[in-house]
A and B are shown apart, each in its own frame.
Chain A
Amino acid sequence: MEDQGKRVKGLDPARAENLDACIKCGACTAQCPVTAVYPLFPGPKSMGPDAERLRLAGVALTPDCLSYCTNCKTCEVTCPSGVRVTEMLLRAREQEKEAKTRLTGRRRNVRDYILGRAEHLGRLGTVWPALTNAVLRRKTTRRLLEKSIGLSARAPLPLYSQKFRHRDKSSPLRELLRGDGIPDPAARIVYFPGCFITYNDAATGQAVVKVLEHNGFEVIVPEFHCCGVPLTTNGHFREAVANAVHNLALLQPYLEEGIPVIASCTSCGLALKDDYPRVAAPGAERVGAQTYDFFEFLWELHNRGDLREDFQAVPVSLAYHAPCHLKAQGIGTPAVRILRLIPGVKVLELDAGCCGLSGSFGFKEEKYNLAQQIGSSLFSRVQTGMEEKKFQGVVTECGGCQIQIAHGSGAETVNPVWLLAEAYGLKGKS
């Protein structure tokens, strides 16, 4: 005798408050980088809290309405009411997947499958990076990829580097624990490098490790899987959770010891802080509080007086771009604070919005142009600044932002850790 009652489950208490907080002001949609350039995406307000009330009433919207959210989380940062807009959207995407109402063709599913799993590609790519890069650079390859799976031929695909490896200088953990004294956890640290560092930018990973070691830390890097953000963004929640469970199992012994976890990729950091605590696995209850963004951690050290500040002057003016997922962490811009500690460094914050790449969004054939449009304010801001000699280059923590900004504006864009490495005199040292 029920039709609707059984189709839709009642509302979780946790979601109710979130939904009620929306007062329909529209700030999220006004700031959404996608809505501003793409008329077919109704925007975060409409597809988030507005549609949520209808979804609870069993109304299904066409899946394409949701597919243009890039998971940049600008809406959540913008919302004056604390509504988890992106989360509502992504959950709806998941529900649709479960309901098997997905209408998009097989071709893009393969592409989204691959983009959701950068690490699979990464593993292949880093086996013989030179070859992979040569192949990826060829226009024919890119055209083929565009035609076969919808990977944009113009998008700035990252090149593969020698895989990031970090050999712990210490003995493995279990041996240490077997020893007489338990080592001081404050002196050890777990580094979560993330896929971009691991497969595409090992050198930056090494720089992070060197800076931490320079500050007296022993750096531990377990064999992590991808943090899961690309999977979530492409709608593969279950696999994202599986990755989280795997990574939490690796983290768990360190978490129990109170050892901090450092992420230099702002998306990985956000996942560890925000998504992992909600996974039902040991370690979940600790991971949020024990994870630090790399610069957030350095700032904590500085606050405690534990940061080595034996900086050499680096006379340079730089523009800083705050990655969307750093903003979402709600810790401000610790990289700017740290860089300003270095004599000679001048930092100008750009504040020109999202770069447009959003992890893998800008790699997609049908979304490449959009990604460029989204980033256009940022690019022109960079170009004008460079022309007017206000700064000489761009720094930003996120690897994706780096390649997109370099691609869109032509400006050299690197991770701010390099400034630190230079100030510490670590650059070039192996």
Chain B
Amino acid sequence: MSPAWAIAVPLGGAALIAAAGARPNLRETVTLSTAALLLGVVASLVPEVLAGGHPSAVLAEVFPGIALRLEVEPLGMLFALIASGLWIVNSIYSIGYMRGNREQNQTRFYVCFALALAATMGVAFAGNLLTLFVFYELLTLSTYPLVTHSGKPEAIAGGRTYLGVLIGTSIAFLLLGILWTWQIAGTLEFAWGGILEGRASNAMTGLLLALYMFGIGKAALMPFHRWLPAAMVAPTPVSALLHAVAVVKAGVFSVVKVIVYVFGVDNLAGMHSVDWLPFAAGFTIVMASLVALRSDNLKRRLAYSTVSQLSYVVLAAALLTPISIVGAALHISAHALGKITLFFAAGAIYTAAHKTEVSQLAGIGRRMPWTMGAFAVGALSMIGLPPFAGFLSKWYILQAAMGTGQTVAVAVIVASTLLNAGYFLPIVYSAFFKTGPADEQGHGHGEAPLPILIAQTATAAGTVALFFFPGLFLGLADRLAGG
């Protein structure tokens, strides 16, 4: 099947959702079936990719010699699987959340969501840098109405930061990097081993890498991370799927892709001008964790945790060994499952109890055992304990860091594990083992609506499942690292 269907399906879905806007039940059915159909399309591509094939499709030739072209390679396959699979779960969750909170403009919400997924698929399957850039920008634009969904002043301000940072970095740095690459390499096609090898000097490579790393603002490398906490004004399903999975993963995915397919791992390993990258990533990991530690707002804490976890992927890629690339690819999926569970739980708490601050959560675990159970699973996976997916990816990254003798990287991973434990465990502890203020006991609340529960249980289960059955993802990651 042509990978173009992966874009066409959600686009068509968006049109149908818009048409069905007046009838909510029909609209939600369309969303769910579009999501299921998309997963089917994506899954149908898996065997060919595992066998070493690269299904491709040309959408249009924009400039002479540069087409909008899709080409499925292992990393993109992995990313698309995660995003499209979680879209189904997230749609179920959205229905519970949006109805539970009586949100306005729900049709616009679902339409933009489908558009964002179409853009995500485009990013995942991009066959060259231009295609990647185009869908990267479309992803930003299609998620903007979701971020500003409520239309309140803080949402507009958040939207400004969101758009300002993402559009700003991508146009000022990423586009410049792409054009520069075109200028010196004469091609923008992704090719294993890189297209810049032997074409750019040491210093130029360092500069180009900086343009890419900071230009891909969605990877939230400090100091361009501010958009992510700002995006938390969005309804929780948006934060869950887009700002824990699709958008941010599009960022780190692009980072890995650029390092593997544009620069080439072996090519970069020989350059000293790129040695700063592990430090930049390490700095972001530690700093973001520290900020998370001090945030009382639950979603903000999760957002900073995401910033920190994203840099794990960048760090892993920056270690420039095959095993670290596997770690990076695995961490994309492991973090996606874990973090979406955490956000689902946060949204469940908001829907059922209307609580947003960490300090309000004492004793809530007894009233919402399923929610907080799922939260605990997500948190443990974030920290990197077995039997959860987070352990797996951290294991690979740590192994690579030790193998290359990067003591700084090792130290960063250890320190951040402690910090992760520091900001997640107290929440779990107080939810289950402390008692809340007496006055709230009277008008108690129960669990969140059923769709929410289903969704968060599914992703929590996925976190465990990925630990025990990583075969598919490992297979794809191995293909990526091995060429």
A and B associate? no
A interface residues with partner B (beta carbon < 8 Å): none
B interface residues with partner A (beta carbon < 8 Å): none
